[in-house]
Amino acid sequence: MWILSAPSGSASMSVVTLALTVLTSSQAILIVWSKRAGKYEYSVTTANFMVETLKCALSLAALTRIWRSEGVTEDNRLNTTLDEVIVFPIPAALYLVKNLLQYYIFAYVDAPGYQILKNLNIISTGVLYRIILKKKLSEIQWAAFILLCAGCTTAQLKSNSDHVLQTPFQGWVMAIVMALLSGFAGVYTEAIIKKRPTRNINVQNFWLYIFGMIFNAAAILVQDFDAVMNKGFFHGYSFITVLMILNHALSGIAVSMVMKYADNIVKVYSTSVAMLLTALVSVFLFGFDLSLAFFLGSTVVSVAVYLHSAGKLQR
């Protein structure tokens, strides 16, 4: 339950960020493993619904523990106003579309291509962070953004292939849409949860996930109603599917912690480092070849992370 508690210092925040990195690095692997014969035998809409339900349940469990130890206060009570709760449907709807695209994009791109296109999120987040939150990024931080994109891309290039970036048009469109949705939803959510800094993060998460459940339930009715009625809600689920749902739920909570007590930029760098960690794990699982490009790319990413930290301290 530590991940559901407010971090009390920089060390705790570092633990949360590390957890996010580890969880994110295993997401793509679990999604691929959840396929059977190249297809999802389960309904991805029901999987997303279960992710939101689990996150909501975990947030409520954390609140129950807080109520027992500290009592119900103005900052941790679930009762709210329309003005406070009306802002949550926007990011919930954006995350719905983004999370669904996360499954379907693999029909158009392979793993290296997906990792490369995913880096578009880095730039979109930086630009939207400046526009929405009105926070100026230093020149060093902008340089770090560029270096991070170059490093992550270089790390995933294959020297013996000329077709790594030649993905279908649909793949590019989906990747760009995912980057914009992820960037806007992330920055917008950060603005919401930081608007009331004393408000308990689990209360804010609870309402966000409630709307996530509502929208995902609507997606089930629209997209998979017949399949769910004929085959059952949990048809096609496996142990890997359950692990994937648990991973997504804990990742979502970790992201909210980072947004509340750090910022969305930290989340972007965490997920980018996770991409490199995924490649390292793939060495043992899939025989991934650690090329010179990977070594150089990981070095550039390390420099970019350092420059981002240095630029943040100088602001």
Read off the pLDDT of residues 287-314 as tens digits, 9 standing for 90 and up: 666 677 777 877 787 777 667 666 655 5
Task: Report yes or no: 151 and 279 within 8 Å, Cβ to Cβ.
Answer: no
**pLDDT, position 4:** 54
Q: Residues of the chain whose pLDDT is less than 50?
A: 1-3, 166
**pLDDT, position 289:** 67
**pLDDT, position 2:** 45
Enter the pTM of the model.
Answer: 0.80
